[in-house]
A and B are shown apart, each in its own frame.
Chain A
Amino acid sequence: GAGVSQSPRYKVAKRGQDVALRCDPISGHVSLFWYQQALGQGPEFLTYFQNEAQLDKSGLPSDRFFAERPEGSVSTLKIQRTQQEDSAVYLCASSLDWADSTSYEQYFGPGTRLTVT
């Protein structure tokens, strides 16, 4: 079946602009995660959804970052008033049911590469 998809794949934003990044998880996957990956680093956790509930947003770097998953499927990560330090690859991952068992692996999308100029 189809994997995790993300759009756009590349986004260039001028400093101060708002951006919205979309994630389509694997159908039927209850859990959804957002990660931020800076150049040369491993992914860093941003936030986690179980269905439509955002259970953990401890990794969001500032209140300019906002994520939602209103119907428990597609998720959007929004960054307001983008700054240069927001430039990174934003990865989305989904898992069958992370709360039930962390033995369910996380499947990652291709990422959105955000460049803030």
Chain B
Amino acid sequence: SQELEQSPQSLIVQEGKNLTINCTSSKTLYGLYWYKQKYGEGLIFLMMLQKGGEEKSHEKITAKLDEKKQQSSLHITASQPSHAGIYLCGADLLFNSGGGADGLTFGKGTHLIIQP
């Protein structure tokens, strides 16, 4: 089963509209990372959240980690064509898995399309 579930899988939004992407874990998250990926390119770091209730913003993108640290949301305000791409949440699940992988575990991604 997928350790990090992202929803929706894909999203088509009219330019100028707001949108939200969710990332849910069945385990407590010790570090939740949001990345953006354009087709054929690497991942671009957006934000990292560590504390329950933490919220960070960069330009028109805001990310939150809920108090229980099992869900994060990424909110884009007044979407623009430049926001199009695949949004990935990644988490360090090491502390939860008792010695599991040292890298990040990623969700499958949310494919965002902005319609002009």
C-beta contact mask, A46-78 vs B, less than 8 Å → 1, else 0?
A: 101000000110110000000000000000000
Q: A33-B103, A58-B101 are in contact. List 8 more A-B contacts (CB 8 A).
A: A4-B42, A42-B109, A43-B104, A56-B102, A93-B43, A98-B102, A102-B92, A108-B44
Residues on the A chain within 8 Å of B100, using CB: 58
With contacts A91-B42, A110-B41, A111-B42 known, is A45 near B31, CB below 8 A?
A: no
In the assembly, what is the distance between CA of A102 and CA of B45, in Å?
Answer: 14
Instruction: Please classify the interface of chain B as helix (H, G, I), strand (E, B), loop, or mixed, using the class held by over half of its residues.
Output: loop
A: residues with CB less than 8 A from B are 4, 33, 35, 40-46, 48, 55-56, 58-59, 91, 93, 98, 102-103, 105-111, 113
In the assembly, what is the distance between CA of A106 and CA of B51, in Å?
Answer: 19
C-beta contact mask, B27-44 vs A, less than 8 Å → 1, else 0?
A: 000110101000011111
In the assembly, what is the distance between CA of A61 and CA of B103, in Å?
Answer: 15
In the assembly, what is the distance between CA of A63 and CA of B45, in Å?
Answer: 31
Which of A40, A45, A110, A113 meets B103, CB within 8 Å? A45
Give min CB distance, B3 to chain A, whole Å: 10
Give min CB distance, B73 to chain A, whole Å: 17
In the assembly, what is the distance between CA of A46 and CA of B31, in Å?
Answer: 19
Q: Supply 24 A–B pairs (Cβ within 8 Å), ascending by A.
A: A33-B102, A42-B106, A42-B107, A42-B109, A43-B43, A43-B106, A45-B102, A46-B103, A48-B101, A56-B103, A58-B101, A59-B101, A98-B102, A102-B31, A103-B48, A105-B45, A105-B48, A106-B33, A108-B35, A109-B42, A110-B41, A111-B41, A111-B42, A113-B40
Give min CB distance, A69 to chain B, whole Å: 14
Which of B30, B50, B90, B103 meets A48, CB within 8 Å? B103
The chain B residue with its CB closest to the CB of A42 is: B106
Which of A43, A48, A91, A113 meets B102, CB within 8 Å? A48
